[in-house]
Amino acid sequence: MERKELVMVFWNDLKLSFEQLEAIIKLLKPVVSEIFVFSKTEEGRLAAQCLCHGSYVQFGDTFPEKVHNAFLKAYMKNFDNTIFIDYTEVSLTLNPRIIREAFSFLEEKKLVVGRNEVNRMVLLGMAGFLPHVFEEKFYFEILGEPILEEGSFKKKNIVELGIFPDKRTSFVYSFKK
């Protein structure tokens, strides 16, 4: 049986144009069969309907809550591997190779995290649903290097993802299943 894979795109339709969203959807379609868009507004959700299989309004009080709720929705729809992308942060640097690599990591690992040049999480991939991830501030920190030593996360679990190939601060934190 083929794995069900999903990419969830968080789109701030108050800042970015429909054309920008359309460009990233075109980029993702050859890589993954299912794409959901989570917009800031109902108008954005309605606009995104013509581009993807699912369009929703982000809900939750904080960014981690919104991402948690999106992963929960994907889990309830029986997706095996799900990748979240913060489109606002990666629109200019995202390429299909990054998505393929993240899905490849999820074949053996439970969790993949990609960060941008200011160490903000811009990609989060999960095999199944891991609610405890959203209880750890680690994933949503914007600070630098010291967070690599925090909690149960060790440097030996770090693999470079290459979201920003010219930077040395983008990593995938991979944990065995």
pTM: 0.77
Residues contacting residue 132 through CB under 8 Å, at least 6 positions apart: none
Q: What percent of the chain is predicted at pLDDT more than 90? A: 29
Domains and CATH numbers, the chain: 5-176 (3.90.550.10)
d(C-alpha 70, C-alpha 36), whole Å: 9
Q: Among all chains, which residue has been given the structure tokens 């999480």? A: 121
d(C-alpha 133, C-alpha 23), whole Å: 30
pLDDT band at 117 (very low <50, low <70, confident <90, very high): low
d(C-alpha 143, C-alpha 120), whole Å: 8
